[in-house]
Chains A and B, each alone.
Chain A
Amino acid sequence: MRIQNNMWKAVILIGGPDKGTRFRPLSLDVPKPIFPVAGIPMIQHHIEACSKVPEIKEVNLIGFFHYTEMLKSFITMAKQKYSLSIKYLSEYGPLGTAGGLYHFRDQILSGTPEAFFVFNSDVCCNFPLSDILHFHQSKNGDNRITIVATEATHSESMSYGCLVEDENTNEATHYVEKPETFVSSLINCGVYVFTPDVLRCYMAEVFRQHQEESLEMGMGDSNFPDAIKLETEILAGYAGSGKMFVYKTKEIWGQIKSAASAIHANKLYLSVYRRTKPEVLAKKNPDGPIIRGDVFIHESASVDPTAVLGPNVTLGENVEIGAGVRVSNSIVLSGAKLNDHCCVLNTIIGWKCKVGEWSRVEGTAQQPDPNAPYSKIISGQLFNEDGRLIPSITVLGREVDVAPEIIILNSIVLPNKNIHANSKNQIIL
């Protein structure tokens, strides 16, 4: 009874251009889901994890980004690299986190998979998919959901979906999205397994109710009556039904909402590389450059032997690092050039940026509270109550040119700017 068909699928919810606004200006140039973290696009980590599970035969990306060359070439590359069937299923509009799943139910369920993974694209995780798969298989019921959860601190939990678990049965007895008061420190990781009947039965019912409501309200206030929110409309209703199970992970987990959380995710993924494939990390070499901690250097990047890199640095394709350059806790995107003696700390350097000699580009690192177990990075607001920019990671958008001997501190620089003056705590349009 347990195994009907040993074929699984995966769905990655990639959203659309109106999402990821906290990730601007970087998401102006590239769809956030393919923004590189630890050297590869964010969702390539998901795809790579899927490729390691023999049962998973197909990965579907659902979203409403235009099917641009960038997205196309990413999918072509990933298909070849991982020998997986990868498709982009384009929504006609923002259908919400579950609306797209329902809309494309026929594609997802074609070939009658036993079950399918659903991932949010902006989670950073080491994806113990085989374990999750076995966990899901160990539970009974035709229309069950497995939800991956992790511990958060008391105060941080309220920024996430919160779950209450019956520890004897692993059943989720309660689910609430971003509660105002504390409910549980167990939070939704944005990774799920759905049995096909969830889509066929429960979601169909939610969808039918939506249609009825929108007919009564004369289309209502939404242009997308088909939009369904997974968290509030499916999970919250499913909790307590005895059909939703909690898979708890104590592994690394983070969300990538802001530049600061991308830097942190970069760190988490580099630490995963350290354990699973240390050969991809930069090695300490007596001839230089000096490597401190985990550093990922793309093979096409050129680094002067007198540079000092790390910890937590990723250099993208064709990046050039000059003599005496210092980079720490930063992501340097492809084609960027850091000239001699410059210092880059806690920063994302955009594609093809140039930083002049002796310039300093520095942000303020946001780290999880080191004294609180399970602490995460909360991607809060950009501005404080006085309307001032909250010190955070500095971001240079694409092709920003920073003159020599300048300091840019806690700033966000929009693309294609030439910076000739110091900038502190500013957004440079």
Chain B
Amino acid sequence: MSPNKSFSLSNTSIGTMKALILVGGYGTRLRPLTLNVPKPLVEFGNKPIMLHQVEALVEAGVETVVLAVSYMSDILEKEMNQHAKRLGIKIVFSQEDEPLGTAGPIALAKKHLSDEKCDKPFFVLNSDVISDYPFSKLLEFHKGHGKEGTICVAKVEEPSKYGVVVYEGDTGRIHRFVEKPQEFVSNKINAGMYIFNPSIFKRMKPEPMSIEREVFPYMAEESELYCMELKDFWMDIGQPKDFLKGMCMYLTSLKKKSPEKLYKESNGVTIVGNVLVDETARIGKNCKIGPNVVLGPNVVIEDGVRIKRSTVMREATIKSHSWLESCIIGWESTVGQWARVENVTVLGQDVNVKDEIYLNGVRILPHKSISTSVPEPQIIM
């Protein structure tokens, strides 16, 4: 790099594309899954949640990904470094000593995202969001309006539950944010995916600070904030109920984009709708699987099993004639014969559900053995 180039920072951007993922804490909302596995590594559609994000960032040209974490996890570090190697990118861990909200961690990671050698815009995203991540489109849109920041917005059915974004339809310029509107003003909400110019750092300090309340409204006031609507799909999968909803959307999207990845009907197994099966999983005779089912590596589905709208994690076994709907079966768990498991039941790692048990909306902590039915939603410690 020649020294004179450093004078042209404001006109042409230099350096490589960077991104920050707000990983945060322990992922308590997704317990019991996150008791054994850091949330970013929980498989969603047979791939760690974070890898969906990192791979999409890489595809958009990102070469450095900063993970803003509030606690260090050896497993996360080890696994992400492996992926970094494979993808040819750099992964940086930026750890906060106290919870810094949604803006603080970005300010804390300033040195990793921008310096005199880099004035390129960078991506920021919440680690809970699942989408088809149109980062290239976002970058293009961002460059198009030339202002300081762009946030992605998603359409929701019940905007009164969220903070909504009011913006100019044809340009995307944001007017204001309204928290939990009582009267309809907009059905678009902040989707937790952004792109910012480095100039945003002047608005943030590495201290507890909310980007939604303490940064965005001022940017909007100065007409420095635009938004782009996510047209395909988007879901915050931080809770089991939404994890399953997001899984359905993801499989629908996969059907459109790479239908060859979905499982096809084979000998003696009836497949309904979109089903994703790891090639090492085994399915018995007279099973009926789907719609919206994900079976992980080395999963064993015995004969005559019915599964709908569920994820079965690596090395779990589902025994004969059981019936599963809307549940997440954790790693190495076993569901007994003629069990019925439904209504957002989540089994942690290595849970053993005995034969003929009925589980309705139950969260079961790891390594438990369940020998009596739980007919009403409950947490089993």
Contacts and interface: CB of A to CB of B under 8 A. Distances in A.
Does A associate with B in a complex? yes
Interface of A: 306, 323-326, 328, 340-341, 343, 345, 357-358, 360, 362, 405, 407, 409, 424
A362 B338 CA distance: 12
A341 B356 contact: no
Given A325-B321, A326-B321, A407-B358, 7 more contacts: A326-B337, A341-B338, A343-B321, A358-B288, A358-B323, A360-B323, A405-B306
Contacts of A360: 323, 338, 340, 358
A93 B235 CA distance: 70
A409 B323 contact: no
A424 B306 CA distance: 21
Contact of B286 (A323, A345, A405, A409): A323
A345 B306 contact: no
A293 to B, nearest CB: 15
Interface residues of B, number: 17
Interface string B101-119: 0000000000000000000
B375 A324 contact: no
Contacts of B337: 326
A405 B338 contact: no
A362 B358 contact: yes
- Of A340, A358, A360, A407, the most chain B CB neighbours within 10 A belong to A358
Contacts of A358: 288, 306, 321, 323
- Of B288, B340, B342, B373, the most chain A CB neighbours within 10 A belong to B340
B27 to A, nearest CB: 31
Given A407-B358, A409-B375, A424-B375, A343 B286 contact: no
Contacts of A409: 358, 375
A340 B356 CA distance: 15
A340 B323 CA distance: 12
Interface string B333-353: 000011010100000000000
Contact of B356 (A306, A343, A407): A343
B108 to A, nearest CB: 50
Contacts of A405: 306, 323, 325
B304 interface: yes
A418 to B, nearest CB: 20
Given A341-B304, A341-B321, A405-B323, A326 B340 contact: no
Nearest to A344: B338
B126 interface: no
B303 interface: yes
A421 to B, nearest CB: 13
B306 A341 contact: yes
B317 interface: no
10 contacts: A323-B304, A324-B303, A324-B304, A326-B356, A341-B321, A341-B323, A341-B338, A360-B323, A405-B323, A409-B358
